[in-house]
Chain A
Amino acid sequence: GDSVTQMEGPVTLSEEAFLTINCTYTATGYPSLFWYVQYPGEGLQLLLKATKADDKGSNKGFEATYRKETTSFHLEKGSVQVSDSAVYFCALRRGAQKLVFGQGTRLTINP
């Protein structure tokens, strides 16, 4: 079945550091790919998405490119801030099917 694998956490960085959170997936067909963020004590919010190969999703300085050849959707940000501290989830969805989530990566940014 479909699955999503994220890099193990937790990840701790200093402010203004470069961030990469790896995400790879296994799915038949052409899923849509998503990154969701969960701030402490809150529900999930969509961070960015891509619906077809080579699409780049971007939001709030975060970017991820849909790479079909490597079945990846890595999340990147050039300069992180303390306010980026949260749990990040990579997910996929095929058509009207359910969302399949990765295990989540907890990110902590120190000032």
Chain B
Amino acid sequence: SAVISQKPSRDICQRGTSLTIQCQVDSQVTMMFWYRQQPGQSLTLIATANQGSEATYESGFVIDKFPISRPNLTFSTLTVSNMSPEDSSIYLCSVVVGKDTEAFFGQGTRLTVV
């Protein structure tokens, strides 16, 4: 299993600013993922954070808007840049420990952009 600490748990931000979300895992993991959950919606994968290389982004998400860092096997950050009200969502960090095991999730960061 894995225990994930995600910070901040919530924030209210002004449009045009940026917010960096941190994800700390209690063990070394190969795969870390960042998801967005818009109000009342399911989870959408933003990108896979790879240690030692650039993140892999899903269709519709770009590095300029959502830069990701992965400096080691236990930590990652997601930045939401130049925010607009449409970025108001819950952002979740997730890790997978083994090939056929479940994914573990952080508590999420509830972002409101005003």
Contacts and interface: CB of A to CB of B under 8 A. Distances in A.
Contact of B31 (A43, A89, A96): A96
B60 to A, nearest CB: 14
B42 A32 contact: no
Interface range on chain B (Cβ under 8 Å from partner)? 20 to 34
Interface secondary structure of B, over-half rule = strand
Contact of B103 (A95, A99, A103, A104): A99
A51 B42 contact: no
B42 A101 contact: yes
Given A45-B105, A103-B41, A96 B99 contact: yes
Interface in A40-84: 42-46, 49, 51
Contacts of A45: 105
A106 to B, nearest CB: 8
B7 to A, nearest CB: 13
Nearest to A98: B45
Interface in A95-111: 95-96, 98-99, 101-104
Interface centre among B100, B104, B107 (most CB of A within 10 A): B100
A103 B41 CA distance: 7
Contact of B33 (A95, A98, A102): A98
Nearest to A46: B102
Interface range on chain A (Cβ under 8 Å from partner)? 20 to 34
A95 B105 CA distance: 18
Nearest to A45: B105
Contacts of A44: 43, 92, 105
B100 A43 contact: no
Given A43-B106, A43-B108, A104-B42, A99 B100 contact: no
Interface of A: 32, 34, 36, 42-46, 49, 51, 89, 93, 95-96, 98-99, 101-104
